[in-house]
Structure formats: C-alpha cells, structure tokens
Structure 1
Amino acid sequence: MKSKLEVCIDSISGLEACINGKADRIELCSSLELGGLTPSDELMKLASEVNIPCRVMIRPKKGSFEYSSGDLHQMFDDIDKARSYNFDGVVFGATLLNGELDQEFLGQLIRYSDGIKKTLHRAVDTIPKTIEAVEIAINLGFDTILSSGGYETVMEGLAVLKEMQQRASGRIEIMPGSGINPQNISEILSDCHFAWLHSSCSIHRQNRKITDSQTIKEIKTAINV
C-alpha cells in the first residue's frame, strides 16, 4: 500500500493548496510558525466544506506542552467545535515538568474526544524516551503518533522512527513529520514503510512561508515512484 500525505496548514491559501495539490489529509492549525495552535472557527468552517479528511490541532497556547485545568477546559471546548464540524479527528499532546508525557491529562482529553480519531503530536519529541512513548500512546487510545524521532528533522531521527514503527507492530500509526520534502521521500521509505507522512509542503515567498500545491504534488509523485 502506498503511503499517504497529511499537510499541516494555517490559512485559507493553505486550504486551497491542499485542494489543488490533492492532499490526502489536512492537519488544521493556526500559527504554524509557533508549531501550530488551535485554528479559528472561520478556518474550521471553511475546512469542513472541503472534501478532504481533516484533523484539528487542539493546542490553546504557545510554548511548552504543560497545561493547567483552565487549559483543559479550553481544550474540551475546542474538541467540541471540531466535533461539531464532523472532522476526522483531533491532534494534541501534553507533558509534565519532569519531561514525561502527562498521562492523566491526556487520558482526560482522550475520554472527552471519544468517537473521533486522535493523533499524539510532536510533544512526544520533547521527552527523553520517545520510543517508550509508543506503548503509552497505544494504552491511552491514540491511533497515530506524529514524530520526528525526537530530533529536529525526520532525517536525523529516522533510525528512531524505524524503531518506533517496529515497536508499534501495526497497533498504531507512526507518522514521520518535520523536514519532509520531495528529495528525501525515497530514503525515508527505503527500508521501512510508513502509511502516513506529514509535511508543511511550504516554500518561501515574500519573506514568509506558504503552503505550495506544487510541492504537495511532487511529494505525492515521489511517494508513488
């Protein structure tokens, strides 16, 4: 089975690029320059009208992935909004001060988002035991882990991602993300199959990064070679 491409976007132009480039799934955010925050109601509404599966980032603030009880209730509200638009799923993560995943907090979010799919995002790359997080994510009820293997980019963390995939053993999707482009697809998939790949598919234009439909097409072509 050929791998599929999820594209993270934070704008209407990004949504249009995903349509034109035929992305397989969207990760809907705001503020990608901050690593992605919860998208606006307006962007959710527009994305809900597009015939592409979509998972919504649930992240109420920039910075660390340590959250308060107030943050938890804000995230509940944001999950409600995502559910109201019948999106494919939600994306979230949380950590403790000691650098471990906050399993109690994540468990509450998992239970609240019952009935929709759930991705554990790159908070997993900030903890010291990225590989061990696979079992934790499975036990909590996630169906996907988005990760760079604990490194800045997928290419640096590829060995870890392959080990995570072996540990997952089909029980959860390991989705590499960070720095994926048309040139490195073949190396990423050369000796380990990942069902999903994640990329911003962005280019620099007028001193800012924008989602590029041609890059989406080129990555999909590289996947299918």
Structure 2
Amino acid sequence: MPARILEVCAFTIQTCIIAERAGAARVELCDNPIEGGTTPSYGTIKQVRDKIGIDLFPIIRPRSGNYFYNEDEYAIIKHDIQICRELGCNGISVGTQTIDAEIDTEWLKRIVEWAGPMSVTCNRAFDGTPDPFKSLEELIACGCRRVLTSGQKSAAPDAGQLLGELVKQAAGRITIMPGAGVKSTNLQKLIGESNATEYHSSARAIAPNPLTYINKEVSDYGHVYIADEDEVRAMVAVLKG
C-alpha cells in the first residue's frame, strides 16, 4: 500500500511554508479564495518555488465561475502553463468543460501536452460533470495523473461511497484525491470509505490583522487566509497511521 499523503491548498506564501514544515507532500497554490481559486501571479509562484522544496502545483484558472473557456482564455492558460514550467513547478491543477459540462477532452489533451513534463491534476471541474465514471475514463485517456474531487458533493466526507467506487474504477491508472471539507476529525472515516492514498485540504484559518489602526467604516479589505499548522500536522499524523 503506497504511503498516504496530504496536499495543502494554499492562498498565501505563508501557508506554503507552513505546509512544508508540517509534513505535507504538495501545495496547490491559488489566488482568490472567495471564488474557489484562480491562477496566482508570476511573482507569487516564483517566490514560493524559491522558498519550498515540496511539490508545487499552481492552479491554472484564468477566472472564477465555470470551466467553459473561449480561445482567448485557453491562450492565457497556455501562457501560464509555460510560466509554471519555466519556474520549475512540478505540476498544475486545471479543469475544462464543454457547454454541456462534460470534460472538454480535446482541450484537455492539448493542456497535458503543453504541461509536459509537468504532472496534470484535473481539479473540481470534474465535480460538475454529469457522469463521474465516464469523466474519469476521459481524464485517464487525456493523460491526467490525478483528479481532485469532492465526489460531486459540497464536501468529500459526504461522498465516501462514490469516492471509493472511483478509486476502484481507477485501479491505479489515475490517482483519486478527495478534497473539500477534509479535516483531521473526519479524515480517518474518509480513508476507510474511499481507500484513497492522497487527500487535499486548506486547513483554512483567518489570519489576524496586524495593523495598529483599522478604519471600521471601510469593509472591503477582505481576509488573509492561512493554514492552521496544528491542523495540518494532525492530518499528516492521521495519514501516517
């Protein structure tokens, strides 16, 4: 049985450093946490790559919303993939959809080719498809190495049975990585139900605002999200058994 590992979804460089320190094996680096993650900046990817030694997979997603892209957006995706390759990333996280929400296999094949030799994870675009079993075979045929999935539910721990069925169907041809709502308190049950070897979590916490003065009349600051290091360590401990 392969060792079970944790991928941390990171929205800041601080989280990437925490993830490595706490024993995670990989970081999915994103911007824009409120809308599910979009492509991080060149500067962010470069600085993270310089700072951490674990695997780095930036999300390649030019905008939030659906994964039905036009040709200009696919051109953006191609440019961003090239940057990731030049900066020494180990892989990317990406998704594609047709107008009918199926996996757009023609574009995904091109993306896998553009990414080579980097590994390609299909992100939760998979969870929006009508038939996950058909979509899984399509991802394998396109050359994806893994799929990040909540089992087509809001949270992966609510979809243990389906995730287990996907792991069986995959039969080692692609890695099924449960993610969304994964915590140290539900991870053991999810392991038992899914039998997956890789898991994904943000362990998200709001960082305190260090400013000595805050204008409370202004409400559009947003929040800085970082990983709770104790929670990451707890999940890594569960995965190590």
Which TM-score band applies after superposition, normalised by the shorter structure? over 0.9
| Cα deviation code 1:30-75 (max 9, x no counterpart) | 1122111111111111121111111111101111111010001100
- Any idea what SS the aligned residue of 1:183 has? helix
TM-score by length of 1: 0.95
Relative to structure 2, which stretch is displaced further, 198-207 or 109-118? 198-207
- Corresponding position of 2:218: none
- Corresponding position of 1:141: 143
- Any idea what SS the aligned residue of 1:174 has? strand
- Corresponding position of 1:5: 6
1:224 is the counterpart of 2:240? yes
Query: Quick one: distance in 1 between partners of 2:16 and 2:188?
Result: 26
8 A Cα contact 2:49 2:89, kept in partner:
yes
Q: Which runs of 4+ in 1 moved over 2 A?
A: 203-210
Shift of 1:29: 1.0
Shift of 1:205: 4.6
Query: Quick one: distance in 1 between partners of 2:168 and 2:192?
Result: 15
| Cα deviation code 1:59-105 (max 9, x no counterpart) | 01111111010001100100011001111111111111212111112
Query: Quick one: distance in 2 between partners of 1:210 and 1:185?
Result: 20
Query: Quick one: distance in 2 between partners of 1:94 and 1:14?
Result: 27
Paired residues in the alignment total 225
8 A Cα contact 1:26 1:54, kept in partner:
yes
- Corresponding position of 1:102: 104
Q: Which sections of structure 1, spanning at least 5 residues, go unmatched?
A: none
Q: Give matches, 1:162-201, under 5 Å.
A: 162-201=164-203
8 A Cα contact 2:19 2:232, kept in partner:
yes
8 A Cα contact 2:11 2:226, kept in partner:
no
8 A Cα contact 1:3 1:193, kept in partner:
no
Within the candidate set 58, 83, 86, 2:85 is matched to 83
8 A Cα contact 1:131 1:160, kept in partner:
no
Shift of 1:2: 2.8
Query: Quick one: distance in 2 between partners of 1:102 and 1:54?
Result: 25
Q: Give matches, 1:10-89, under 5 Å.
A: 10-49=11-50, 50-89=52-91
- Corresponding position of 1:124: 126
- Any idea what SS the aligned residue of 1:62 has? coil
Relative to structure 2, which stretch is displaced further, 82-91 or 96-105? 96-105
- Any idea what SS the aligned residue of 1:118 has? strand
Query: Quick one: distance in 1 between partners of 2:13 and 2:92?
Result: 19
Query: Quick one: distance in 1 between partners of 2:116 and 2:170?
Result: 22
Residue type at the aligned position of 1:67: Y
8 A Cα contact 1:138 1:171, kept in partner:
yes
Identity of aligned residues (%): 26
8 A Cα contact 2:163 2:194, kept in partner:
no
Q: Which has the larger radius of gyration?
A: 2
Query: Quick one: distance in 1 between partners of 2:163 and 2:207?
Result: 31
Q: Which sections of structure 2, spanning at least 5 residues, go unmatched?
A: 209-221
8 A Cα contact 1:202 1:215, kept in partner:
no
TM-score by length of 2: 0.89
